Structure 1
Amino acid sequence: MSSSPESGWEPQPPKLLDGRLKIRHLVLIDALSRQGSVIGAAAELHVTQPVATRGLRDIETVLGVELYTRGPRGVVPTIFGEAFTEHARAVLAQLNQAGRHVLELTNADRGTVVVGTHLAGSNVLLPRAIARIKAEHPLLTVVVREGTPSTLLTELEAGRVDMIVGRLTAPSTPIITRIPLYDESVEVFAGAGHPLASSARLALADVGDHQWILPGVETSLRGELEKVFTRFGIPLPTQRVEATSYLTVRELLRETRMLAVLPSLIGRSDAGLTPLPIDLSTINHSVGLTVAADRPFSPSARALTACLKRVADEELR
């Protein structure tokens, strides 16, 4: 059938409010896009593979388009799948927040705020802000979830976290708002007893053949470090461990002669670590909040945000 203006017919949007589309369908789409396979999504949702397959088929029937291409290694979202996943996560986020908001209306001090964090925010800014908010609202619950930036963004979009605290490495978008709180530099750190700890001056070339702990390849800091090594014509250390957990990095630095790049505030706050005099001034980013642009904060989230801003203004700038 022609869809030209002369024919008098125009395609109509799918009817998503006629009762066929269920919330469980949106949950399935979120899981499929994260897991990349029907088997993985079914396992996560504790349903059988045929149930998940039937659910996907039902959604595609309602929408009238194919959301995923099927292959031997799993499923890949089509352009329709990518678009619908974004909307599904937005709806789920609103529903998650609605349930919590209703609960908080009974007593705002008894609410819950869920914070995602990665290295730059997890060991100085966030703990201090949590200490403050617990002093002001002792019955408020703060849930902290650590993860990679990309994983946490997915959690934020789906409403499973209220905000992310960490380095800001990209500008705001129509979907995501990034709020700078303070500027953070990074330095090369070693254990306090490392042979290089007393060095007055070092170049990156002097330590390129040492054992290193590097951030994971999924982090922006890893990419920036690789650029610095390339700029100085130094190959990436072959003797290396890759880790993003600060607890792991700290213990390795203390117990071995490895080197690692850490945010200055984190490394300098640990008496068991010492900064080495190596210039990494080209790596400098803001630390701040990443939030959903169109989602209002709950009372608990607003309270924690205020504490984070006060800590940044009064102690970290």
Structure 2
Amino acid sequence: MTVLRLGTRRSALATTQSSWVADRLRSLGHDVELVEVSTQGDRDTTTPLAQLGGTGVFVSALREALAEGRVDLAVHSLKDLPTAPDPRTTVAAVPVREDARDALVARDGLTLAELPAGSTVGTGSPRRHAQLAALGLGLEITGLRGNVDTRLAHVHDGRLDAVVLAAAGLRRLGRADEVTEWLDPLQVLPAPGQGALAVEIRADDAVTAAAVAPLDDPDTRACVTAERVVLADLEAGCSAPVGALAEVVEGMDGAELSLRAVVAAPDGSADLRRSLTGAPEEAAALGHRLARLLLDDGAADLMSTSTSTDRSVTERAQ
């Protein structure tokens, strides 16, 4: 039996996610070997991600390993994938999504509303920064990098009053009991693709494509397709405060795709929220329509102010 070499980053969350995929492939009768790949983002943990090139720094090394034939597939947090396609690779499977929300871990079990004005909240995301500021709670929001343990330690050690992380990562690492509030998307919309995984392979590898195809979840793929089209059409990247969430819901005539998005001024002084519904099989078209609606209503003007903001806050939940 041919061994499938699965490329993964070395972080605890990345290896947990990759092991989850490997276990499902093994249950289908495949032999899978994890191959650790060091990325620039993992080696340099102090330079702001925007200066390193955004979240793509966690993807490029894995894609090179794929293209060079050192691994047969790679597992990414889907929100880390650049929206621009790489002709050498393809996302062959998008497994069922974990919790897409953001989560608060605060001292003394506090919720956002219970944190006193002036409380320090750490996040590595301009999207979270902008939406938290827009709530008008008087919080002091500060940039933060590092893996999940490093970020949580800032609260446990008293250096910060709270941190905001992706709920999916905390659940996958068995740290959900530390969450003091699951943030409602009505308050804070997640990053496009948050909570979902991408299984990427070489574009010409039909054998591996067939092996991973059973892992693909059509509803999750439809949702993340719509979300990422919004991001791509807005020409926004990791340094832009853009959130999007699609969900397959039951409509009057059967399943439909509900898509919401937000574009915010980086300082939270203004935001633009819009939503549309459509057929799940027309996910990309729905994303295009919502992006056009946002642009027509002034999204570009809001995003243009991001060039004057602190680039040290960048989107990363690993």
Same fold (TM over 0.5): no
Q: Indicate the TM-score class for this superposition, using the shorter chain for normalisation.
A: 0.3 to 0.5
Please report the TM-score for the alignment, with normalisation by the length of structure 2.
0.45
